[in-house]
Structure 1
Amino acid sequence: MVAMIFDRRSLLKGIGAAGVATTFSGLASAESGEGPAAGRFLIDLREVDRSDVPDEVEIVHDISEIDLLAARGDPEAVPGVDSTTPDVAVYQDNTGSVPENTGPPVEVDKAPDESGSPAWDEGEAPSNNELQWDKRAQRLGDLSDRPDNRRTIHDTTTGEGARVAVIDSGVSDAHPDLEDVVNEDLSENFTTDEYDFRPNGAGDHGTHVAGTVAATNANGDGVLGTAPDAEVVSLRVFSDVEGATGDVIAAIVAAANRGCDAANLSLGYPVPFVDPEKYPFLLALKEAYERAAAYAREEGTLVVNSAGNDGIDMDGEGILSLPTEAEGVFGVSATGPIGFLWDDKQHREDLALKRLTDPTSSPANYTNYGSAVDVSAAGGDYDPEAIGGGDEWFYDLVFSTIVTPDGDDGVETGYGWKAGTSMAAPQVSGAVALVRSLRPDASVDEVESLLRETASEDEPGGEAYHGAGHLDLRRLVKEAR
């Protein structure tokens, strides 16, 4: 069995971290002089002629397809009052706000509890496949909780011929479940560091996301993605948990230019940077995202974004949550169970999804909500009161591919848990791959309509948390055939 990244004592120590709002210490931009966005700004070519941009201004990304340039230097050197806006920092959408795995590799059947005793008796640990409640609930492949002769999603399609861009911290193609998935030729680093499209110190957020989309379960005891025969294009925009808006905008346009069916974004601007009256640059960023999304849609690419983890009503006064609220972006909120596999015997009886305190479609306690949500999807949940207790609370998070540095310029591959709307968005991006594999000529509007029309309605929390409903792959592929 492949080692899984998890150590309970390290994990519990890690989740004492404060939420996103407190970890976002300042607005990294041209004014702050810190972070990857330092000294950076965007130039609007609808406000200034390209020939009037002075030579001393460095062009980091030419995004002239949507009349934008990402630049570095002195914005005042560019003529025109409205020609520039700060290129501000953007963050991964599960950073610091929800628990995740943080420990060294430990075998699944030897994960210790706080007393040092194994969490499971020898030979009694659930397999990696059994830990994927998100995929089992959707009846993917052989991961159904009802093992009989009924058809599964992958009997109809596995996403062959589809392509998904993961715009994130990079994707490790060293992972056995991803090594045949990542298109190296189309993948690229959009940051200004010296590394390639792989994580290279940027963390395993993007690798976890990519596994949710297209992991192949290569050795039979790994994890299975929604569309395991789809292709992933890794467009890295984070050097750590922080990136620059201009890099993200450039990556969206690149995803469209490279024929991607979906561009998965699991990122955003956390509280307190949601009030456009207090932070007017948000309106300029909104327009930039809308230009990028409109261009992507014209090229056949659906931009999918996580709704955010601040637990806020995006329809509230003084709230603008980006990129989710940008026109043309498909917003995804997060759901998750409470109580999955807390009973050690559940997995043996194939009843794990029937013995839940909260169903898998229950809104996660951290998810943003509001009319910008198009659908909800599995992002994982957790019971704060259970953390540190004897229950296996972490099984309610999403289990996927991860990597950690091995200390010798390489990575150690494994599997672990994360939760967030970051984990929900790739469920939808994988679903787009399934649709496009069945209907390669479907327009973006048609793909969106299928996602909404087949979503499961009347879920806990109602429309505010689920939009058109909860992602339902069985209905989706049936309708798309």
Structure 2
Amino acid sequence: MMNFDRRSLLKGIGAAGVAPAFSGLASAEGDGDPAADRFLIDLREVDRADVPGEVEIVHDISDIDLLAARGDPESVPGVDSTAPDVAVYQDDAGSVPENAGPAAEVDKGADNSGSPGWDDGLSNNELQWDKRAQRVGELSDRPGNQRTVHDTTTGEGARVAVIDSGVSDAHPDLADVVNEELSENFTTDEYDFRPNGAGDHGTHVAGTVAGTNASGDGVLGTAPDAEIVSLRVFSGVEGASGDVIAAIVAAANRGCDAANLSLGYPVPFVDPEEYPFLLDIKEAYERAAAYAREQGTLVINSAGNDGIDMDAEGVLSLPTEAEGVFGVSATGPIGFLWDDRQQREDLALKRLADPTSSPAFYTNYGSAVDVSAAGGDVDLEALNEGDKPAYYDLVLSTVVSPDGEGGVEPGYGWKAGTSMAAPQVAGAVALVRSLRPDASAAEVESLIRETASEGEPGGEPFHGAGHLDLRRLVKAAR
């Protein structure tokens, strides 16, 4: 994921600041091995009664015959009864201090008006190319000329779980969206579902799904009348696979139509021969996805940001390649609103060096991709030279930052990554379920694939069944 706000961009960004790093995998020692004191217990291999009392059960995931535990895995009988609980990291989490999260007093009256971009008079609404390309709400490039997606549905009655770094309901565009009762912290820290030192990644994702554009110049989500359930799985910069798997099962049990995962295990942790514990993690994700689908919940995951062919030998990209997980690759324009002449609404998406459906330079690709969606792209040379607003090609959404007084300040900022593409699809699921609440997970997936537009440029490896097309999707669902 790439993360830019106005202040950091104006200070200048070097090439390292836009590296396509996404999330990492490491042990407590940082050597790529599983964390020493966390492990999974397979209840298909050992009886629950035989688990020693000194083993702490962190999560009871017995719906899929798993326990997430802490202690000595060798104390559990059975050769195949335990598997490592692999740690995951978000690379941008250090941008928000640990004390900026849930324990802080939040100022919900902060002034969030105005553009986060250059002093060019552009509104946030104009900068949402991802929604303009899909004719979402009033953000169509041809307002009043054709029916928009929100003329058919705004996602009312649907529910989406954001399994991430937490969602800040201090943001005015998310204040009435997050279901506090169903939201939960799945880490072992003492705080709640809101961010706690893990950055605003989950808040950005949630805005893409269900931002309400409360001020009229905020951000508008794909399904602004859908409900968000924040299931936090990152505490500071570190998370654990067992927390994520438990959160998937919880999302299904809480009636979520989609569970959005924007996380993974990037290079070099993709070779199951070198890292055999990846096969255990894959099997656990498959159990969770199968259970979720039985309850009607689609598990949506970002394909990863390493620019690798997931079909290549020695590559296993998780959770995307786990059976039952809907994989999303990222696309984005090059040149959006670089030219003053583009500010005419009917030209904004036409005068582009690369179209909005062009594969992003960082996206993983291969047969595990089900569809592509807007995740943002960037011309690194233009960005580093600073003579063009190259970050306009990233995805604008809701963010929060420390306010210097122990609280958080809501705002708007750009990020890019397959992390930003997955919630476009999670929002699409909400639109379908608002129209067809009884549709099965398989039926919703089929509708998304069948209505996707032609996957060009790049073809099937980069787009799977095609590029997400919300207008065709809601028409078919209706």
TM-score normalised by the chain length of structure 1: 0.91
Is 1:387 aligned with 2:383? yes
Q: Distance in 2 between matches of 1:218 and 1:109?
A: 15
Q: Distance in 2 between matches of 1:188 and 1:96?
A: 22
Is 1:39 aligned with 2:6? no
Q: Distance in 1 between matches of 2:186 and 2:52?
A: 23
Describe how 1:193-208 pairs up with structure 2 within 5 A: 193-208=189-204
1:322 alignment partner in structure 2: 318
Please say if residues 22 and 305 of structure 2, whose CA atoms lie closer than 8 Å, have aligned partners that are also in contact: no
Q: Which moved more, 1:431-440 or 1:78-87?
A: 78-87
Cα distance per residue 1:175-203 (max 9 Å; x no partner): 00000000000000000011100002221
2:234 alignment partner in structure 1: 238
1:91 alignment partner in structure 2: 89
Shift of 1:172: 0.4
Please say if residues 5 and 106 of structure 1, whose CA atoms lie closer than 8 Å, have aligned partners that are also in contact: no
Q: Distance in 1 between matches of 2:307 and 2:294?
A: 32
Q: 1:173/1:213 Cα in 2 relative to 1: closer, same or farther (>3 Å)?
A: same
Q: Distance in 2 between matches of 1:163 and 1:253?
A: 15
Cα distance per residue 1:103-144 (max 9 Å; x no partner): xx9985685xxxxxxx43xxx421000000000000001101
1:373 alignment partner in structure 2: 369
Q: Distance in 2 between matches of 1:352 and 1:51?
A: 63
Please say if residues 20 and 96 of structure 1, whose CA atoms lie closer than 8 Å, have aligned partners that are also in contact: no
Q: 1:435/1:107 Cα in 2 relative to 1: closer, same or farther (>3 Å)?
A: closer
The correspondence for 2:219, drawn from 223, 226, 230, is 223
Aligned residues: 458
Describe how 1:331-370 pairs up with structure 2 within 5 A: 331-370=327-366
What value does the CA root-mean-square deviation take over the aligned residues?
2.4
1:65 alignment partner in structure 2: 63
Q: Distance in 2 between matches of 1:106 and 1:218?
A: 10
TM-score normalised by the chain length of structure 2: 0.91
The correspondence for 1:187, drawn from 183, 190, 205, is 183
Shift of 1:348: 3.5
Describe how 1:153-302 pairs up with structure 2 within 5 A: 153-302=149-298
Name the SS of the counterpart of 2:318 in structure 1.
Answer: coil
Cα distance per residue 1:287-344 (max 9 Å; x no partner): 0000000000000100000000000000000000000000000000000000001113
**Match for 1:7: what amino acid?**
R
Shift of 1:408: 2.5
Please say if residues 159 and 434 of structure 1, whose CA atoms lie closer than 8 Å, have aligned partners that are also in contact: yes
Please say if residues 394 and 417 of structure 1, whose CA atoms lie closer than 8 Å, have aligned partners that are also in contact: yes
The correspondence for 1:410, drawn from 401, 407, 412, is 407
Q: 1:49/1:320 Cα in 2 relative to 1: closer, same or farther (>3 Å)?
A: same
Shift of 1:70: 0.3
Q: 1:321/1:141 Cα in 2 relative to 1: closer, same or farther (>3 Å)?
A: same
Shift of 1:278: 0.5
1:16 alignment partner in structure 2: 16
Q: Distance in 2 between matches of 1:181 and 1:46?
A: 39
> Unaligned 5+ residue runs, structure 2?
96-110
Q: Distance in 2 between matches of 1:91 and 1:326?
A: 19
Q: Distance in 2 between matches of 1:260 and 1:300?
A: 8
Q: 1:372/1:349 Cα in 2 relative to 1: closer, same or farther (>3 Å)?
A: closer
Please say if residues 22 and 417 of structure 2, whose CA atoms lie closer than 8 Å, have aligned partners that are also in contact: no
Describe how 1:123-134 pairs up with structure 2 within 5 A: 124-134=120-130
Q: Distance in 2 between matches of 1:22 and 1:353?
A: 27
**Match for 2:27: what amino acid?**
A
2:103 alignment partner in structure 1: none
Shift of 1:81: 1.0
Is 1:6 aligned with 2:11? no
